[in-house]
Amino acid sequence: MQLKKDIWRCAIVPAPMEEVLARGSLAEWPLTWVPGSGNLRYHADPFGIWRDGQLHVFTEFFDYRDASGRIRVTVFDGALEVVEQAEVLRENWHLSYPFVFEANGETWMLPEAFQSGGLWLYRAIEFPHRWERARRIVLDEIPLDASPVHDGARWWLFYAPAFPEAHRLTHLCAAWADTIEGPWIRHPANPILAEANGARPGGTPIWRDGLLHLPVQDCRGTYGAALRVLRFDVLTPDRVLAVEAATIRAPATARPYLDGCHTLASAGDVTLIDVKKTRFSPRGLAMRPLRDLRRSWQALVHG
């Protein structure tokens, strides 16, 4: 049982991700916070899309009282004032990492859902509030934190394998497809990176100076301590060559959330991040026993 709890908080950085990578840090930019974290609940894994002059930030919302993630959207106007915050996706399994993107005239979401036994691609049927499961993405592994990107010729998908558990943070895999709905072909070099300090995807892949850059987690000392940015000097269906280009940590402006930073996501002229503080919580120690008792009671009642 954990004596300490991670409390994540999401923020908007007033600079494009390309500038963040050029500086190699989050520097001293002021942050605009996504509300709703604290008291054993938090928002994490932010991804965003601008639509009609408004920024839609999709996040995992997690509450330690039920330990089940669902997806929320927080809508900001052009001045980054909050317009609304609402739950937009809930399943019978944990959801997180709501990678939202546009392709083929549609808006898609690819949330992490390994408890379902796979990975599901969702299509917006009434953006941003209503989503439908469009296709199951089939791979040899169950993917964690799947991150898609198009290179002009094909789609790429970067992810960590859910099993064995020891590889969840340390192995990076890739697959490619002609369309976002697949079929997906596992890269023959998988894992394309195996790194004890962390290799799990941590945000949006972006192109810079003609080369793909991908944030991956650096878990030295704690889960989600920082992000390492990989630069792909070679990326073909037959070969991969990636080198570390930068390390991104929580900026001083995030105080007191300085214990971690594990998402870096591009959203037009802004960048989305999450940062964490780790706190001892006597109340949190009772959360799991109470959840187990409640679930046992519900199973007994419903037979």
pLDDT at 114 over 80: yes
Q: How would you list the strands of the sheet with 240-248, edge to edge?
A: 206-208, 211-218, 226-235, 240-248
Domain range for 85 is: 4-302
Record the pTM: 0.93
Mean of per-residue pLDDT scores for the chain: 93
Number of domains in the chain: 1
- What residues have CB less than 8 Å from 262, skipping those under 6 apart? 44, 202, 217, 223, 224, 225, 226, 227, 274, 276
Q: Are strands 82-89 and 96-103 parallel, antiparallel or unpaired?
A: unpaired
CA gap 131, 58 in Å, rounded? 13
pLDDT band at 66 (very low <50, low <70, confident <90, very high): confident
Return d(Cα 15, Cα 235) in angstroms, integer: 27
> In CATH, what number is assigned to the domain containing residue 258?
2.115.10.20
pLDDT (mean) for 274-286 = 74
Report CA-CA distances (Å) from 247 to 136, 167, 224, 261, 284: 33, 21, 12, 11, 32
Give dist(CA 139, CA 149) in Å, integer.
17
Strand, coil or helix: what is 228? strand
Confidence of residue 153 (pLDDT cuts 50, 70, 90): very high
Yes or no: say if 33 and 254 are a contact pair by the CB < 8 Å rule. no
CA–CA distance, 132 with 135 (Å, rounded to integer): 9
pLDDT at position 300 over 60: no
CA distance 120 to 289: 31
Percent of the chain whose predicted confidence (pLDDT) is above 70: 91
